[in-house]
Amino acid sequence: MSQTDALPREIALFPIRGCILPPGENLPLNVFEPRYLNMVDDAMAGSGHIAMVQPLKGGAPEAPALERIATAGRIVSHTETSDGRYLIVLTGVCRFSIAAELACKTPYRMARADYAGFEADLAQAAPAENHRARLLALMTGYFALTGLAADWDSLRAAPVNALVDRVAMAAPFAPDAKQALLTAGAGAPRASLLCALMEEALARPRPADQG
């Protein structure tokens, strides 16, 4: 019996371009569209899971094409505001491949989830400690370049895998780069890619460099 057997095989999709959810990380969400309020209601009445996925360019505005790899998340916090919005926190559980999109009557989209190949998401990846020094050095320049604020004491004290995942979520990389980070395995593979992406950004000529 696989650990993924307890995860939903049919899951609601929450498409947000430029947004990824690595397993183990928390994502605060402000839900206000009626179809996604409905989605949260249905999730809370069921298993509590929804999936974060990036839409691709192309397709109908209301139903764009989707990336193949998504993340099943579990709603761990749920608050309703006075104006009818939901403030939720979603914890990433496990990535999956979208095996098929389901024909359904819900106002939101649903998919059949295939967790094969992602079972390692339910275990703790080996820490990418040999990337820590390079990662922090690159973050100093990259954060200054992009204007990202940071609590450096907290970042230096964070477990390196969590540090990688949080920067991957927060950094203003292009959606395809974000998807590559999600697709990369946790630990050293994702840390190595994150470092390469920051190095690439820092190496690009800037207006002041071109004078």
Single out the residue of 75, 123, 72 nearest to residue 99, CA to CA. Answer: 72
Single out the residue of 144, 126, 147, 142 nearest to residue 190, CA to CA. Answer: 126
> Can you give the pLDDT at residue 38?
98
pLDDT per residue, tens digit, the chain (211 aa), is: 577 889 999 999 999 999 999 999 999 999 999 999 999 999 999 999 999 999 998 777 778 999 999 999 999 999 999 999 999 999 999 999 999 999 999 999 999 999 999 999 999 899 999 999 999 999 999 999 999 999 999 999 999 999 999 999 999 999 999 999 999 999 999 999 999 999 999 999 877 655 4
> Can you give the pLDDT at residue 1?
54
| CA–CA gap between residue 182 and residue 177 (Å, rounded) | 9
Contacts of 200 (CB under 8 A, 6+ apart): none
Question: What letter represents residue 140's amino acid?
Answer: T
Contacts of 90 (CB under 8 A, 6+ apart): 21, 26, 27, 29, 50, 52, 73, 74, 75, 76
> Can you give the pLDDT at residue 5?
84
> Can you give the pLDDT at residue 60?
76
Q: What is the mean pLDDT of the chain?
A: 94
> Can you give the pLDDT at residue 209?
57
Q: What is the pTM of this model?
A: 0.93
Q: How far is CA 184 from CA 23, 121, 192, in A?
A: 12, 11, 9
| CA–CA gap between residue 140 and residue 104 (Å, rounded) | 47
The architecture CATH gives domain 3-122? Roll (2.30)
**pLDDT more than 70, % of the chain:** 97
> Can you give the pLDDT at residue 180?
98
> Can you give the pLDDT at residue 208?
62
